[in-house]
Homo-oligomer: A and B are copies of this chain.
């Protein structure tokens, strides 16, 4: 195995596939990046078995690739990244010199690194699933940003650690919930598509980091895996097994109270009060009236806060409702709207938050009981 490659493209490729690599992988080979030189392609693969990323480097545009000998090797990700990043040269020379000992050099600096044999790297099936659709990068990133934050970080109900994507009858419903709050985004989709899968939020976070707004992302799914294809990179993730809960019936359909307000101002008010915590949770109380809306908090040890919500417009009878301030904060931020609308059905009933003028995204939060 012997090739030379442009430093910049090699480093970018290594960085992308390294995103799949976990520091806690039980399999030693998974701490490395598999590098395959195949006639006119350099194929880089990183994986932690849950998520696998593969990218292909070719001799094109500004990228110079010259493969003199085919071959494959696995190099510890942090070493190869360090070497390539810090080499002050436009070109990197890469050669297996003895068994798994690999020479990497550029601009007078030469490294001999103990690699691992490529045959010890698990085979990863990158074959393309059948249900295929595509999104522009900025839309895919928005879907993830608006739903993934609401997933659970506890492994007690694994299915809640992912975002559910349900395609049927020309509609794609994307839902994240940790059972205390729920985020849902609805999109139109090709009516031939039909699937109901749950993708780990962790994998979606990596997708979001790699995708650029202007990319066109092809997505291919079946009931085993999902693939995101961007230019010459494939990000592949396992799915979470198990039936996703029926969330549609949790969303109230009629409301008795409505609060609308500037999103930025409300975020500011919640943020200001967020240090007043009971057992690590900042519970906010909304005291809502057509005359005045007040946000207050209280914690025995710390103290209390009250703030009149300037510019809030409330319709309905007097209502007092308490909830986790962090959940409302996250939900408002995810809506990305200038003005937000809360719809309530009662003191202890779930309420929803939407951005004014955007019916595609809905945030639902469960209230909490307070004893103040």
- Select the residue from A113, A272, A273 with max chain B CB neighbours within 10 A: A272
**Cβ of A69 under 8 Å from chain B:** no
Smallest CB–CB gap between A11 and chain B, Å?
A: 14
Q: Report yes or no: A112 in contact with B304, Cβ–Cβ below 8 A.
A: yes
**Cβ of A110 under 8 Å from chain B:** yes
Smallest CB–CB gap between A297 and chain B, Å?
A: 9
Smallest CB–CB gap between A81 and chain B, Å?
A: 9
* List of B residues within 8 angstroms of A307 by Cβ: 108-110
**Cβ of A275 under 8 Å from chain B:** yes
- Known: A78-B275, A310-B108. Contact between A268 and B86, CB under 8 A? yes
* List of B residues within 8 angstroms of A79 by Cβ: 275, 302-303
**Cβ of A190 under 8 Å from chain B:** no
Complex-state Cα separation, A307 to B107, whole angstroms: 9
Q: Report yes or no: B303 in contact with A114, Cβ–Cβ below 8 A.
A: yes
The dominant DSSP class at the A interface is mixed
Task: Indicate how many identical chains form the complex.
Answer: 2
**Cβ of A101 under 8 Å from chain B:** yes
Residues 140-182 of A at the B interface (beta carbon under 8 Å):
none
Q: List 28 A-B contacts (CB under 8 A).
A: A78-B275, A79-B275, A79-B302, A79-B303, A82-B272, A83-B275, A86-B271, A86-B272, A87-B272, A108-B307, A108-B308, A108-B310, A109-B269, A109-B272, A109-B273, A109-B305, A109-B306, A109-B307, A110-B305, A110-B306, A110-B307, A111-B276, A111-B304, A112-B303, A112-B305, A113-B303, A114-B302, A114-B303
